[in-house]
Amino acid sequence: MYKEAVDELNRSAVRFLVKKIKELLASQEHIVLAIPGGRSVRSIWNILAEETHIDWSRIHIFMADERVVPPDHDDSNFKLAFDTFLKQVVADGLAVENTHPFIPNDTADRGASDYFKQLQQFGGPDILILSSGEDGHVGALYPNHHSIRNAKEGYIFMDDSPKPPAERITMSRKTMLKAKVALLLFVGESKQEAYKKFLEEGNVVKCPARLVRQIGDSYVLTNLKP
């Protein structure tokens, strides 16, 4: 029963994404889809790979957060997304140059500012997908950490991530809040405490997932009870 519930939640997430992509493409030339790292969204990627009702040729994919490794590294969030679904949708019309992996360099911020410049060329995130961690983090914005307190726009580099590996980049809070549409996922019993915190009143510093509440067109999908 649990597996069936999670499968249906994943299918609901894809139906939601298809609907919102179509709505935005009806009024703009292209959209930017910002996707999260982590393996909890792998099942969504598998379903999305089979979706035939999306005009992938008008979509640009950016990472909402990433590990500071080359995009073909086994630890790369982009590699997981590419192997799971981007490879398939490239075959279905998504130009490979529209996939926009993060490529680390030797600058002080390891390429975070360069990656933001790429994003700015396409106007910033239109649809933001986030999956909450057990502590309520989203992207690489962690509770009571400088990442969530950072008020700048762009991508943030850190070498002290509370969750290994230490070196990561993430969209800042300010940049995430520019999204027109947001989808936040709480999947699995390990996220129960985070979901409880999300539902409580409080600021985003203690529970970064709460920032989704500040995005006008935002939705939460979960298999958990309040």
Q: How far apart are CA 192 and CA 194, in angstroms?
A: 5
* Nearest C-alpha neighbor of 196 from the set 135, 143, 118: 135
Pairing assessment for the beta strands 168-171 and 65-67 based on DSSP bridges: antiparallel
Give the DSSP H or E segment for 100. Answer: none
Residue 21 has φ and ψ, to the nearest 5°, of -60, -45
Question: Is the predicted pLDDT of residue 221 greater than 90, yes or no?
Answer: yes
* Nearest C-alpha neighbor of 60 from the set 15, 24, 27, 30: 30
Looking up tokens 């008020």 gives 151
Q: In what order do the strands lie in the sheet with 65-67?
A: 65-67, 168-171, 155-158
CATH of domain 2-187: 3.40.50.1360
Per-residue confidence band for 3, with pLDDT thresholds at 50, 70 and 90: low
The confidence score (pLDDT) of residue 37 equals: 84
Tokens representing 198?
Answer: 């999300």
28-87 tens-digit pLDDT: 999 999 999 877 788 899 898 888 889 999 999 999 999 999 999 999 999 999 999 999
For residue 210, give the amino acid letter. Answer: R
106-156 tens-digit pLDDT: 999 999 999 999 999 999 999 999 999 999 999 999 999 999 999 999 999
Question: Is the predicted pLDDT of residue 2 greater than 70, yes or no?
Answer: no
